[in-house]
Amino acid sequence: MRIAIDYTAAASHWPGVGRYGRELVRALVLRPDCPELVLFEHGGAQPLPIAALGLDAAPAGLVERVRLPGSRRLMKLRSAVGFGGLERRLGNVDLVHRAFIDMPPLRGLDYLAPLLEFGLRDAKRDAALARSLAPAKRVVVGSTAGRIEAVERLSPYGFEAFRARSFTTGADHWLRAAKPRTALENLAAGAPRFLVLGAVGSARRPLQILAGFEALVASLPPDEAPVLHFDGRAGDAADAFKAALAASPARARVTWNPKPDEAALPELVAGSTTLVHLSRGELSPITALEALHFGVSVVASHLPAFEEALGDEVLVTPEAEVDAEALGAAMARGLRAGLDEEARRVRQGVVAGHTWDVCAADHIAIWREAHEDPDLDRA
């Protein structure tokens, strides 16, 4: 097979879909069954360091990189009006693996689209999403539970269930770094740390997490109180969060870094006691899995994809997320679990199968099935 992959975000953005594409390709080129790859990019984003891509490990002739003219905005406009033209630039490829549901524009080429998260349940948006996904040969989702949820949400609007496939989410990328091991060795030093990753936006409930932390701190002796660290850019809740933090009785124990440093993240995560990850609509549990690879305990929203992957970790219902006392109690359970050294080792064993190599193998199998059996019966 010859597979074209939208590598635009992978080559220019550390988190999110950028990490997905970058780490997938890094793992693919190390496998003996890796198909030929055409990595295409568009837009003028600042590229990541070449060493971050891991393409130097690819055998000669396995990977071709293609630079396309125009910005992502122009590409999206071309897609919206149905204007193709990408096919000639990619050459002879069997499948295209998109990074985004609705772009790039394609005519006459089979493609796969990733579905990694949902918005809040809304009939009009779900119907529009189902229409956007209809032309895709396959839709790939980062968990079995997420695939089931996608089918349940979208089937009433004409989405064909047979198109949905799940893959194992890889999350072991930070284990390549040496510093996290030092952080693990020094974990006992200092106060236990709660960590919140991602933008300080309303979807992540930073105000509720702060209120839950305040309730937890108020219930503990001063010498046992943990600290709370937010690591993420300013989102739509940043101003409200700043105001709440300024008035917080626990403000001396809370820090916020609005400019995350990718190089510092492995050590930051590994040296934390508990990750708090409240969200809506995620179909892939990657952030929580990143923490579990270091043995860090997790307090997360009660979503199907998280329930499938996180086992005995603390899952919080939507009602408890907005109740300071209930969320504080959940964080207390997460704290106890994070301080349990044996439980940390168990978590690392539970999550050991969530590697990018397994993720790459799953993608190859999905590509092969889509290529060799394109008219699969709707079972």
Residues 141 and 115 sit within 8 Å (Cβ to Cβ):
yes
* Beta carbons within 10 angstroms of residue 190's beta carbon: 10
What is the pLDDT at residue 378? 41
- pLDDT at position 85 is 59
In angstroms, the CA 310 to CA 343 distance is 13
What CATH class has 2-169+356-372? alpha beta
The H-assigned helical ranges of 234-350 are 238-246, 265-270, 286-292, 304-310, 318-321, 324-338, 341-350
Question: Reading across the β-sheet that carries 274-277, which strands appear in turn?
Answer: 254-257, 227-231, 193-197, 274-277, 297-301, 314-316
User: Can you give the pLDDT at residue 5?
Assistant: 97
Alpha carbons within 13 A on the beta-carbon side of 288: 32
In this prediction, residue 377 carries a pLDDT of 43
Name beta bridge partners: 254. 228
Q: Which residues of the chain have pLDDT under 50?
A: 377-379
Q: Is there a common fold for 2-169+356-372 and 173-350?
A: yes
Q: Determine the pLDDT at residue 379.
A: 39
Whole-number pLDDT of residue 68: 83
Cα–Cα dist 197/209, whole Å: 12
Task: Please check whether residue 171 is in contact with residue 15, taking contact to mean a CB–CB distance below 8 angstroms.
Answer: no
Query: pLDDT value at position 195?
Result: 98
Strand pairing report for 111-114 and 138-141: parallel
- pTM greater than 0.95: no
- Are the C-beta atoms of residues 54 and 20 closer than 8 Å to each other? no
Q: How many CA atoms lie within 13 A of 244 on its CB side?
A: 19
Alpha carbon distance 155, 152 (integer Å):
6
pLDDT of residue 285: 96
Per-domain boundaries in the chain: 2-169+356-372, 173-350
* Number of helices followed by number of strands (H, E) in the chain: 15, 13
Instruction: Please answer whether residues 353 and 298 qualify as being in contact, where contact means their C-beta atoms are separated by less than 8 angstroms.
Output: no
What pLDDT score was predicted for residue 189? 66
pLDDT value at position 295? Answer: 95
Domain 173-350, classified CATH 3.30.499.10, yes or no? no
Contact 66, 40 (CB under 8 A): yes
| pLDDT for res 108 | 81
CA–CA gap between residue 130 and residue 151 (Å, rounded): 10
